[in-house]
Amino acid sequence: MGVFDDLVGQERAAVTLRRAADGAAEMLAGGPGGGMTHAWLFTGPPGSGREEAARAFAAALFCPDRGCGHCDMCHQVTVGSHPDLEVVRTEGLSYGIKETRQLILRAAGAPTLGRWRVVLFEGADRMPERASNALLKAIEEPPPKTVWLLCTPSPADLVITIRSRCRVVTLVTPPTAAVAHALVTRDNIPPDMAEYVARATQGHLERARRLALDPEMRARREAVLSIPRSLTGLGECVTAAERLVDTAKKEAEALSSALDEGEITEIRKIYGEGSSGKGLNKGLIRGGAGALKDLEKLQKSRATRTQRDVIDAALLDLVAFYRDVLAVQFGAPVELANEDRRADLDDLARSSVPEDTLRRIDAIMHCRERLAANVNPQMAVEAMTISLRQPRL
């Protein structure tokens, strides 16, 4: 099975990338290389598999058989050990100008194995303007064997000067049936559970997998979906907001703590903690003070981002809930993400009008915007829950 066969529900994108991989092989042989270019932009909604598609394309560029899925080149891309593939992940809130310039210098080097040097930039939308301007120069005049793969939710997330120089690959939300099939065949998840989580996560394959395998995650989702019914007064709104933010904070701390501890231990080892020899340990620890300070700053930024991401996932679950309410109100023949909570959907649909539902969806989306603008999470979520408030059902 080839690397593009793993792209769930992305048949059209897979065709485009296969043709481009063929063109890349022609280019290496001195041909015109039709369909191949040095800058690509992978876009699509959460869960569409932007990074997976970009990684599959990178494997196809390295692979002599253009993405067979089982050779050494494909395996190295899969495990992240290929010397000519650099994957850029933005662990903090943004990717700074200093990091971007260093990345551009590394990308300008010749490939180790002679085919391509590929930079896969996850979360390219997190670049501030100065970093984007620096990247633009590298994309305008790339080295002959350097390929940039940028991943963002939407083309509008990048400055127009960058996206106009990229070939865009647009991914779509995978159908529920395709996600459920992948979970059953790849992860041995029971069909009923696979269908439930695929529908609940609206086609987000990785989140569906975690939801199926993690009972605590399913419990947190149920707690979020119970919020609309609980907002019977101002006190309940404040309590719901506190609970949501506190849960997100604890989950972020749990996700970050293991990483933080390992990174600090590694830095201390690098700078000689525990080494023997006159003056050796003292000097290296002093030299590592700056590195430890930089690491702590990065970890704090990562923890903040993780907390925001956890809250944002909860807000998207609420958006899906109210979207289902709207579908019920209009009698739309569409699949409901929260069919398992049909009684709550029906009750809320009867006790309100579509205009109310749209106003509530707007309140949730406004909360997401405020969180992205660094508004205090407690204040932003409280304002949202108050806007969602309704009489007891």
Task: List own/partner pairs for 255-264 with CB under 8 A and 24 or more apart.
Answer: 255/306, 256/299, 256/302, 256/303, 256/306, 259/299, 259/302, 260/299, 260/303, 263/295, 263/299, 264/292, 264/295
Global pTM reads 0.79
3-state secondary structure of 88: strand
Dihedrals φ, ψ of 214, to 5°? -120, 100
Do 107 and 146 form a contact (C-beta atoms < 8 A)?
Answer: yes
Q: Which helix (H) or strand (E) holds 147?
A: strand 146-152
pLDDT averaged over 10-residue windows placed end to end, the chain, 393 residues = 87 93 85 84 90 95 92 92 89 73 87 89 86 88 90 90 93 93 94 94 90 91 92 92 88 72 69 54 56 73 81 92 96 92 94 94 95 91 90 44
Residue with tokens 């023997």: 276
What is residue 273's predicted lDDT score, i.e. its pLDDT? 59
What is residue 252's predicted lDDT score, i.e. its pLDDT? 78
Residue 371: how many other CB atoms lie within 10 Å = 20
CA atoms within 13 A on the CB side of 285: 9
d(CA 200, CA 124): 27
* Beta-bridge mates of residue 172: none
Do 379 and 241 form a contact (C-beta atoms < 8 A)?
Answer: no
What is residue 286's predicted lDDT score, i.e. its pLDDT? 56
Give the chain's radius of gyration (CA, Å). Answer: 24
Do 150 and 39 form a contact (C-beta atoms < 8 A)?
Answer: yes
What is residue 1's predicted lDDT score, i.e. its pLDDT? 62
3-state secondary structure of 93: coil
